[in-house]
Structure 1
């Protein structure tokens, strides 16, 4: 603390008569002293630095304030008055670093700034690790397209019911926002259905391509529920009842590997294929044609892609053969070895090819 005190006697003279370079140098020296011992400083010492800096920093050049804001922004015990002063500045190069990450700015200050400042301040806030529902309500009300897109893409952001409704409404006119909302982990089935209902078909297809298997299944089932028309599959088998069963399981949150294993073990072929289709995003007709062929490779590929255990894959291989056929132990062991060696990235590429062919 002696180092800081040695700068205090000349502080008034520097503030009143010093040029920007002298002020910036004094602020830098004091900030260096603070940063050297920040982890060990008691609250009263932080307050002392705070009092020194808030008298000096406003008189420094913008570039010096921006640099200091950047250096102090990650600290949990940064001088609070100075940080809030930075956050309220109109100059975005100064305000942005602390708005993005400073943990010392409380909720009320953030709300006040969000209600009063411009789009640059709102955009910086959307990068914070967490955003409360109250804050995103203001962001949704005042934010422009870029701000709302960034908020939707923040996994730590919470949205109220009204905020989510506004998010989905705005997504109806913004394909990029639709993709951001469609990838959110907190997107419920009902909200996904609303999102898809307001989106163009090309955006729906793009969303399907960029999300994971679970969300692909949800999209496929949501679209089926919207139209009320199950996928029509040409051939000898009737999959309509099976699709309704799978849709009901999905709505109940029970469409998982355990359900699929149960279908396979009880030789419920239609339900097994419909479940695989929902979980992988591959059409029923495509899977039925591939799995009912001469080889078990398609089962290994789709199983690897959606992360099935070997026990489930084995049950699907036995299902494919039928109740009255017993596979040779060597064939099952060969399938197990091939499944273990198959890389998920390879399986994803093959399934991507299947989807391209089925779209064509």
Structure 2
């Protein structure tokens, strides 16, 4: 696409009536993704300015689709990225999970009252130890499991200890931690002992139920 073609698409998106805006936004999105690597700086700045404003008049579904598409682009402009970050959680989530953001940005986003945002942060790859510690401090169970499953998240030894304490009580965290190649040996032994205790309790419970029903429990020989 020539320089004039991209500028024309931006102009069309800016001037489009409501019923045609979604289609215009999709055309701009596709053109940006196809040409981002070679867009001259002045056109990138124009894209930033125009689409930041257009998002205010764009339907939610189209904004969600736009955010998912552009989130991974290394040339996503700063103003537009921050506009999408301040949108509804559905729009912001892919930006949080995939866009270029600093640790300071991520720490500011972590809110114990917003599980969806924290889940998006927990799934980022890679994820620094400072951000991981902040997520652990927020204490949301689903977020902690997602963090444990993210093998690209750098976890401190203290973080492993906290997560392993949770794993002692629940199989989901146990399984998540067990899949990590960086699991410290002492934590692995702790999880093994916890698994053995849980297995023993389940077997004993099954035997007791069989006895209560008058069935002879199955015994390995």
TM-score past 0.5 threshold: yes
- In the superposition, the TM-score normalised over structure 2's length comes to 0.77
Q: Tell me the residue number matched to 2:120.
A: 124
Kindly provide the CA deviation profile for residues 15-50 of structure 1, in whole angstroms up to 9, marking residues without a partner as x: xxx43x333233223223322311212444322211
User: Residues 100-111 of structure 1: matches in 2 within 5 Å?
Assistant: 100-102=97-99, 104-111=100-107
Partners of 2:37 and 2:199 lie apart in 1 by 49
Which runs of 5 or more structure 2 residues have no equivalent in the other structure? 202-219
Q: Tell me the residue number matched to 1:56.
A: 54
Which runs of 5 or more structure 1 residues have no equivalent in the other structure? 206-358
Asked if the contact 2:167–2:173 (Cα under 8 Å) also holds between the matched residues in 1, the reply is yes
Q: Tell me the residue number matched to 1:5.
A: 7
Q: Tell me the residue number matched to 1:79.
A: 77
Deviation, 1:181, is 1.2
In 2 relative to 1, CA 70–35 (structure 1 residues): closer, same or farther, beyond 3 Å?
same
Residue from 14, 21, 24 that aligns with 1:23: 21
Q: Secondary structure at the match of 1:124?
A: helix
In 2 relative to 1, CA 201–28 (structure 1 residues): closer, same or farther, beyond 3 Å?
same
Instruction: State the structure with more CA Rg.
Output: 1
Q: Tell me the residue number matched to 1:190.
A: 186
Runs of 4+, deviation exceeding 6 Å: none
Kindly provide the CA deviation profile for residues 125-178 of structure 1, in whole angstroms up to 9, marking residues without a partner as x: 222221111111121122422211111011101112332222122222222101
Partners of 1:180 and 1:86 lie apart in 2 by 31
Q: Tell me the residue number matched to 1:97.
A: 94
User: Residues 310-321 of structure 1: matches in 2 within 5 Å?
Assistant: none
In 2 relative to 1, CA 186–12 (structure 1 residues): closer, same or farther, beyond 3 Å?
closer
Count of aligned pairs between the two proteins: 202
- Structure with higher RCO (Cα < 8 A, 6+ apart): 2
Asked if the contact 2:111–2:117 (Cα under 8 Å) also holds between the matched residues in 1, the reply is no
User: Residues 187-266 of structure 1: matches in 2 within 5 Å?
Assistant: 187-196=183-192, 201-202=197-198
Asked if the contact 2:135–2:143 (Cα under 8 Å) also holds between the matched residues in 1, the reply is yes
Q: Tell me the residue number matched to 1:66.
A: 64
